[in-house]
Amino acid sequence: MTVQICSCEGLDPKCKKCFGSGYMNTEFPEKSIKATPKKANVKHESFLPDDLHALSKKEVENIVPKIMDSLDVKSKKQMQLLHSIPFNTTTFRRDFKAKFELLQKIEDEKQALRKELDVIAAALSTSKYSIEFNFGHFLSDKVIDVTSNRELKTLLRAYKKLKK
């Protein structure tokens, strides 16, 4: 039995395939799982329209909260994953491989989303307009090296301190 990352990445608590955990067993007897899209078809979610430059300042500004919300939701999921990994064991990397894969996948998406924010900031500053991004989650503005145990533990500690 192998554990696979669900297409919803655990971001949908009502997901019928993974029930919000973000993982599903390939044994799962539902046919729809066989219809998972090929890797080449997987596209990062994007909030930027092709005609960004044709939009008004207000329309461009309106994209910002959507990106921020998505970053916050993904960050929350990352933090849940971090909390669910027993870092005090010696085999957690091997035992929780799927969790680290999911962490990395979400991280890649977050970095792509932040690049879109950069594009928006650049688009708006040409019209002499300054914009500030106020992220709603501790991890939303952080670039995370998912391969670094030390970095992950440091982030967890900092987050716990923040929550006190």
Residues in touch with Zn ion (CB under 5 A): 6, 8, 15, 17-18
For Zn ion, give the closer residue by CB, 4 or 104.
4
**Min. distance of Cβ 151 from Zn ion in angstroms?**
27
Tell me the CA end-to-end span of the chain in Å, nearest whole number. 40
Place of tokens 């019209």: 127
Contacts of 27 (CB under 8 A, 6+ apart): 1
Least CB distance to Zn ion at residue 16 (A): 8
The nearer residue to Zn ion, 12 or 141, going by C-beta atoms, is 12
User: Who contacts 35 (Cβ-Cβ below 8 Å, separation ≥6)?
Assistant: none
Nearer to Zn ion, 18 or 67 (CB): 18
Minimum CB–partner distance for residue 52 and Zn ion (Å): 31
Which tokens in the block code for residue 77? 């999921």
